[in-house]
Amino acid sequence: MGGNSNSMAKKKQSESKAAASTAVEGLRAEVLEQPITETLEVNYMPYAMSVIVSRAIPEIDGFKPSHRKLLYTMYKMNLLTGSRTKSANIVGQTMRLNPHGDAAIYETMVRLSKGYEALLTPFIDSKGNFGKVYSRDMAYAASRYTEAKLSDICGEIFRDIDKDTVDFADNYDGSVKEPVLLPTSFPNVLVSANTGIAVGMASQICGFNLNEVCETTINYLKDPEYDIMQSLIAPDYPTGGELIYNASEIEEIYRSGRGSFKVRAKWRYLKTDNIIEIYEIPYTTTVEAIMDKVAELVKTGKIKEISDMRDETDLGGLKLAIDLKRGTDPDKLMQKLMRATPLCDSCSCNFNILIAGNPRVMGIREILDEWIAWRTECVRRRVYFELTKKRDKLHLLNGLKKILLDIDRAISIIRGTELEAEVVPNLMIGFGIDRIQAEFVAEIKLRNINKEYILKRVEETEQLEKDVADLEDILNTPRRVKKIITDELRDVIKKYPSPRRTSIIYSDEIGEPDIEDEVENYPVTLFLSREGYFKKITPQSLRMSSEQKYKENDGPMQEFEAENKDELLIFTDKQQVYKVRVSDFEDSKASVLGVFLASQLEMDEGENVICMLNPGDYSSHILLFFANGKAARIELSAYATKTNRKRLTGAYSDKSPLVCILPLTEEREIAVFSTEGRALVFNTALLAPKASRTTIGVALMNVKSKHSLERAMYVEDSPIKNIARYRAKSIPVTGALLRDEDREEKQMSLMD
């Protein structure tokens, strides 16, 4: 028996092993036979889609889900109007919507904060150490040490969110609702810089200036053919720097949503200490990366002009100090560093945005189209919500109005009804009202059953009827919806002024440092004729003979004093400006014709000189007057360059012929004349300065189709005697007809 039992056990064990082995082999065969495409589809694709849709790519409101969950939690915590609270408290509350751990939530919070300086319009008003976007090693403090609340601009982010403007969905466990999108009243998707790496795709959206984006959207709403580049000049970053502007690159980014451009650091030279201070760097780099690269160049001997470099960043902001060796040219050194270090860095753009759950790479126009369509739906939903509320209230008051006809009868019906459940049906029968109206009447307090109370309520019906009609008209009139969006955008511009932080430097100004010999400096007087002949005459030569020689039918156009080392800007009628030094020209005499600038500067065929001016230190402005009646006030710094570029293209707008240029060192009055025989006098304070050279300007003088702006001059140089008659307090204006006594011809000179 025992032997048989053991042999049977061994037999069963052997059969069990064989069966297990067969099962494993079958499983291996099954796994090996599964196609890789099926594995990817079943296991990998759901993960990839989750990362794309629910994590890495921003949506049309400009937020990723993590941003939206955090901000909405803070909104529900009353941190828009309330005081700051500990960041740890916010992080803990956010985990009800975003179960990805406190570290991930706090990192999201840091990026959105004012202290971190990663956004042009930060959404979190922070207190404490939140680190800096431009520092790799400056760590933010733990959440238990810092405090935060929502910044004021979040009032525009959550505008009317409680009025059914957006859809709400369940959170991950279905315990609370959260918004699918936030009803931003401005195109935050373009304002807030955003970077996300998904699976198989990425998104990199550069930030734009808030005011420029709102202004562009307003103009685009008015005219779908509007040239976006007129107001949306270029990207803007919170870390400042100088954007090297190449019109074709920016135009390609605006068109396709893809491309790149360069941003370089800003610096200044302290001559007394022989130190270069770098105070703004590209958004894409850090101070540590820059210092590491400079140290490497010094160590390898590629840079020999630097004796020391240190980080002097403090509460005043970023500052990198470079000690120079004696005799070092700071301009040449910085040119080397810009080429060899991240002080000049490329910024890539990939405007990949989720639209209705689908990722799309879009240009600026497409993004604005999508945002306007989405914002239009938000406004319509809000209007419909308000309309429904007012209709319901009007319906109740109409029922109350019927009770007014016989209050005693209503009381009698209520008193004569034996059962409480029959009060409402009896009122419905007695006055011909529906159940909702009857319920409202039945709930009125005893103290309010008087004529005065009921009459006051009934008086509201007239206003409610007007409001209902107005709201219905808004829903049926797309033009009125657009006006609401436009008005809200104007409110944003007014309430949150946002000057540009990243300045513009044109790519044609970038070149090798100018290696120039020492030239003698002495005073000279410069003369320019109407046909473009130039003379540089010393004071001694001018004293000997002051009578200038000109060709037949030629004459003086400009005359002013300068120094031999000064720079000159020579503007032409081909939207170009030539940069020359006075020392480039030989001293001349009054008795000769002078140098023909078109030949000397190798101008294009048919190109003529319009104006010559001395920019000085490039701190003042110039006024440009166009034939269509517009004028532009441009900062001379837009033409400044530390390189030896001789010709700058795109010197001014080509939308209308340029009539006149006047330098402006202080606010003063200008006289403008049209071919119609009209004139106006205005103060230059009415014109806001622009940093863009190609701005089309603002309307100054209303000119009829057959006429144009003819000339402009300082009022003291004009023949006008009765200035008050032509003075304008605001622009644009048509101007007043010239009187005979104000038409006297007068010799003009352009003073620097």
Residue pair 671/713 in contact by the 8 Å Cβ criterion? yes
Q: In Å, how far from its chain's centre is CA 598?
A: 40
Rounded to the nearest 10 degrees, the angle between the axes of helix 87-94 and helix 102-111 is 120
Residue 237 annotated as catalytic: no
Rounded to the nearest 10 degrees, the angle between the axes of helix 210-222 and helix 478-495 is 160
Residue type, 306: I
Q: What are phi and psi of 399, to 5 degrees?
A: -65, -40
State how far the Cα of 290 lies from the Cα of 172, in Å rounded to an integer.
43
Q: What is the DSSP letter of 612?
A: E
Helix and strand numbers, DSSP H then E, in the chain: 21, 34
Q: What are phi and psi of 15, to 5 degrees?
A: -65, -40
Say whether the peptide bond before residue 732 is cis (omega within 30 degrees of 0): yes
Alpha helices in 40-86 (DSSP H): 45-51, 65-76
Q: What is the DSSP letter of 591?
A: T
Alpha helices in 308-360 (DSSP H): 330-340
Spot the catalytic one: 145, 496, 506, 578.
145
For residue 616, the tally of other CB atoms under 10 A from its CB is 14
Residue pair 68/106 in contact by the 8 Å Cβ criterion? no
State how far the Cα of 710 lies from the Cα of 629, in Å rounded to an integer.
9
634's enclosing H/E stretch is: strand 630-635
Q: What is the DSSP letter of 587?
A: -
SS3 per-residue string spanning 369-408: HHHHHHHHHHHHHHHHHHHHHHHHHHHHHHHHHHHHCCHH
SS3 121: coil
State how far the Cα of 694 lies from the Cα of 367, in Å rounded to an integer.
24
- 268: Cβ contacts below 8 Å, ≥ 6 apart: 276, 277, 279
Residues belonging to the active site: 145
